[in-house]
Structure 1
Amino acid sequence: MSEAKLREEMVMLSQSLFERGYSVGSAGNISAAVDDGLLITPTNSCLGFLDPARISKIDVEGNHVAGDKPSKEIFLHRAFYKTRPNTGAVVHLHSTYATAISCLSSTDPDDCIEPITPYVVMRVGTVKILPYVPPGDPAMGEMIVALKGSVNAVLLANHGPVVAGPDLRSAVFAAEELEETCKILMILKGQPYRLLSEEQVQELNARRYLT
């Protein structure tokens, strides 16, 4: 896909997320890899009203080379590109239910999304919660680097989800799947419910890596 078409796709998918309530105001940021660096939504921009020509471009060394000033949380994105070589896009949202899960003190920080549907297993996988640091703090990127590429999704405590994928659509769809699963878990909270068995999860993981 050409850079021009990728910019258009970022605008389209970002607008879709905004219009369906996955982000509000200027919350959230999205990036996608290109041959000579990456594209990322500008700082303080609204995902619902992006201009493809103003999307920021960062070169392979992290220098801002085109478009508006990049998101202040670019280090979150670069950490995934650095540690997961197959990463083609990263989506960071402040979506309601995933953020709610990130605020619960009872949530398992090493595996915070239970295997309640096959789709969250296949599209998202294990999700870890990273300790709270203020927005814009580079320590968040350092914590993602410390995971050494072991997961493609995290919840930033009291902040929201960050999801990586092999391409922009895959990353967006995985972020949507994570939010929907968090919604289901919050709806079922306090009620008895079934989880997928370990054997079922293993079967789904085998399928995930074959596709």
Structure 2
Amino acid sequence: MTEQEADLRHQMVRLCKSLFDRGFSVGSAGNVSAKLPDGILMTPTNSTLGSLEAERISKVDASGKHVAGDRPSKEVFLHQAFYETRPRAGAVVHLHSTWATAMSCLVDIDPDDCIPPLTPYVVMRVGRVKLLPYVKPGDPKMGEMIRDLNGEFSAALLANHGPVVSGKDLFSAVCAAEELEETAKLLIALEGRKTRLLTPDQLTELNNTFKGL
């Protein structure tokens, strides 16, 4: 095992525990991955993000073949689809976090922009978010739907399921997933109130200043 892989395994343990301890993940919900030069590290199936063991984190090669650690999450293809269509993505975080999952259950949100630009930080760290139709957990169609986005979105809400977010590295992906969750919480808290969203000119300024993945 390379030093890079060992460091990334320990970083995944630390950041996943942080997500779990702060309630972004419960039970065995959610899965996280990070890209290596020779494959992908992936949280194991039926594991809890709060008690990962570095040496037991799964590793799959570029083709998705399991090569080390425990068996990977059944949603590994969801992560692979982001890496294949967003070459600069270095990590993917899929959670069942409360508020973003609540947003994914609403019927009156824009499927092409389902997290309105409420703050500059959701624009800078997450960007536009696509709502994808419901399929059962573990269905390979999830990967197909991500591929069909052609790399145009760094994040999506899986209808009635939860958010999935990519980032340039593991820390960035975790921060983006947290920003998405907090923005969803704000949106639901403000529901029914007259809300001031960022203007098109403000969005253009942010997008020109803070280039994402």
Q: TM-score range by the shorter chain?
A: over 0.9
Percent of paired sites with the same residue: 66
Residue 109 of structure 1: CA displacement?
0.6
Q: 2: CA distance between counterparts of 1:202 and 1:190?
A: 27
Task: Give unmatched runs, 5+ long, in structure 1.
Answer: none
Residue 193 of structure 1: CA displacement?
1.2
Task: Give unmatched runs, 5+ long, in structure 2.
Answer: none
Q: Which residue of 1 aligns with 2:84?
A: 82
Q: Which residue of 2 aligns with 1:173?
A: 175
Tell me if 1:113 matches 2:115. yes
Q: 2: CA distance between counterparts of 1:104 and 1:184?
A: 15
Q: Secondary structure at the match of 2:35?
A: strand
Q: 2: CA distance between counterparts of 1:61 and 1:103?
A: 33
Tell me if 1:12 matches 2:9. no
One-letter amino acid of the structure 2 residue matched with residue 59 of structure 1? D
Q: Which residue of 2 aligns with 1:57?
A: 59
Q: Secondary structure at the match of 2:210?
A: helix
Residue 125 of structure 1: CA displacement?
0.2
One-letter amino acid of the structure 1 residue matched with residue 124 of structure 2? M
Tell me if 1:206 matches 2:208. yes
TM-score scaled by structure 1?
0.98
Residue 210 of structure 1: CA displacement?
7.9
Residue 61 of structure 1: CA displacement?
1.5
119, 142, 148: which one aligns with 2:144:
142
One-letter amino acid of the structure 2 residue matched with residue 91 of structure 1? V
1:96-111 pair list within 5 angstroms = 96-111=98-113
Q: Which residue of 2 aligns with 1:186?
A: 188
Q: Secondary structure at the match of 2:25?
A: coil
Q: Secondary structure at the match of 1:65?
A: strand
Q: Which residue of 2 aligns with 1:128?
A: 130
One-letter amino acid of the structure 2 residue matched with residue 31 of structure 1? S
- Closer/same/farther in 2, CA of residues 210 and 183 from structure 1, 3 Å limit: closer
Q: 2: CA distance between counterparts of 1:124 and 1:185?
A: 15
Q: Which residue of 1 aligns with 2:72?
A: 70
Q: 2: CA distance between counterparts of 1:190 and 1:165?
A: 32
TM-score scaled by structure 2?
0.98
Deviations 1:121-154 (A, max 9, x none): 0000000000000000000000000000000000
Q: 2: CA distance between counterparts of 1:191 and 1:69?
A: 46
User: How many residues get paired?
Assistant: 211
Cα RMSD for the two superposed structures: 1.1
Q: Secondary structure at the match of 1:31?
A: strand
One-letter amino acid of the structure 2 residue matched with residue 35 of structure 1? P
- Closer/same/farther in 2, CA of residues 210 and 98 from structure 1, 3 Å limit: closer
Q: Secondary structure at the match of 1:185?
A: helix
Moved over 4 A (4+): none
Tell me if 1:95 matches 2:84. no
Residue 4 of structure 1: CA displacement?
0.3
1:147-162 pair list within 5 angstroms = 147-162=149-164
